[in-house]
A and B are shown apart, each in its own frame.
Chain A
């Protein structure tokens, strides 16, 4: 292709007056043809611009969007699928576990009577009720505990309902890891 012709189109391109066909021709020309020295700056310009078209899109985006579209129902809901959400649920699960273990420890402690014999918690309450020694504060404590347990079970249930999403995220992660392995 003649340099004069290319230069003419280049001028139009930089002036914003080139047609869309002429613009395409320039991109093709600078990709495939050996160019003249006087056009080396333009060659750089067009080849760098062409490189931008090849910017890799992360595979995780494809996975996340595919999952999102799968879960999308016809209602007006919009939850973004995110692998990072896993940590949120892990933290929630860990705190519930801690709460249970502390509770279990104290319950075990209170199961032993003064003679060191293991008692059932109901035995303790029965004993206290028979002797009329159950205090208002203890009753209040029991009610408080019942409320706390109710709250925990509610949290646990809401956590469980989200487990489906966690599973999806985990599956996606495993798939990515497998793909990586294959590549290696």
Chain B
């Protein structure tokens, strides 16, 4: 068989849509946009149906496509949102950290403030439980690099919790 049928495509790719949604959510911090991004990801994958039978790790491949779609949205938004963001960061520093700590979204906000690569890697590893090997496949980075980035990210996040403890 040279290419994938619609049924087979569904059997392989549909089961992990929730993971894709969560990764998109932690990259974009926007629920409805994330749902759109997941649909766009499936569209993009299906448009390459002639090549799909050569993909050995469908889930990792889907995350690669998803990440590209997310990056497109981040780039599109960046120019218009930059000014607003600068304003927001300034205001956030004034918000009482203890209040934030009680908020269930605290970790979400901390992750949203990370650079995209750190956001993707911490979400894949510590939220969705992907293996180092799968993350290597998605990011194209070496295991050592991934571990260094993870270490930096984990320390940065923990530091925020230690800071809130001390207040």
B128-167 interface with A by 8 A CB criterion = 128, 131-132, 146-151, 154-155, 157-158, 161-162, 164-165
Instruction: Indicate if B85 sits at the interface (CB-CB under 8 A).
Output: no
Instruction: Indicate if B61 sits at the interface (CB-CB under 8 A).
Output: no
1/0 contact string of A63-83 vs chain B (CB within 8 Å): 011001100111010101100
Nearest-neighbor residue (CB-CB) of A64 within chain B: B39
Given the complex, which residues of A lie within 8 Å of B107, measured CB to CB? 48-49, 51-52
* Closest-CB distance, A39 to chain B (whole angstroms): 11
Given the complex, which residues of A lie within 8 Å of B126, measured CB to CB? 23, 49
Nearest-neighbor residue (CB-CB) of B144 within chain A: A16
**B128→A53 contact, CB < 8 A:** yes
**B10→A72 contact, CB < 8 A:** yes
Given the complex, which residues of B lie within 8 Å of A72, measured CB to CB? 6, 9-10, 46
**B35→A61 contact, CB < 8 A:** yes
Q: When chains A and B are docked, how far (Å) is the Cα of A101 from the Cα of B157?
A: 64
Interface residues on B, range: 35 or more
Q: When chains A and B are docked, how far (Å) is the Cα of A64 from the Cα of B32?
A: 13
Nearest-neighbor residue (CB-CB) of B9 within chain A: A72
Q: When chains A and B are docked, how far (Å) is the Cα of A41 from the Cα of B166?
A: 10
Instruction: Indicate if B5 sits at the interface (CB-CB under 8 A).
Output: yes
**B148→A16 contact, CB < 8 A:** yes
**A76→B49 contact, CB < 8 A:** yes
Is chain A's binding surface mostly helix, strand, loop or mixed? helix
Please indicate which of the listed interface residues B106, B146, B161, B164 has the most CB atoms of chain A within 10 Å of its own CB. B161
Instruction: Indicate if A14 sits at the interface (CB-CB under 8 A).
Output: yes
Q: When chains A and B are docked, how far (Å) is the Cα of A65 from the Cα of B18?
A: 11
The segment from B21-29, B66-74, B76-84, B86-94 found at the interface with A is: B21-29
**B108→A45 contact, CB < 8 A:** no
**A16→B150 contact, CB < 8 A:** yes
Contact of B158 (CB < 8 Å), options: A17, A41, A55, A80? A41
**A16→B127 contact, CB < 8 A:** no
Q: When chains A and B are docked, how far (Å) is the Cα of A40 from the Cα of B132?
A: 28
B9-52 interface with A by 8 A CB criterion = 9-10, 14, 17-18, 21-22, 25-26, 31, 35-36, 38-40, 42-43, 46-47, 49
Instruction: Indicate if A164 sits at the interface (CB-CB under 8 A).
Output: no
Given the complex, which residues of B lie within 8 Å of A52, measured CB to CB? 22, 26, 107-108, 111, 123, 127
**B154→A14 contact, CB < 8 A:** yes
* Closest-CB distance, A71 to chain B (whole angstroms): 9
* Closest-CB distance, A143 to chain B (whole angstroms): 43
For this complex, 14 residue pairs linking A to B, each with C-beta atoms less than 8 Å apart, are A13-B154, A16-B147, A20-B132, A41-B165, A44-B161, A44-B164, A45-B158, A48-B107, A49-B107, A52-B108, A53-B128, A60-B35, A72-B46, A73-B6
Shortest 4 CB-CB distances between A and B: which pairs?
Answer: A16-B151, A16-B147, A48-B107, A78-B43
Extra A-B contacts (4), CB below 8 Å, given A61-B38, A72-B9, A76-B49: A45-B158, A52-B22, A57-B21, A81-B39
Residues in chain A within 8 A of chain B (CB atoms): 13-17, 20, 23, 40-42, 44-45, 48-49, 51-53, 55, 57-58, 60-62, 64-65, 68-69, 72-74, 76, 78, 80-81
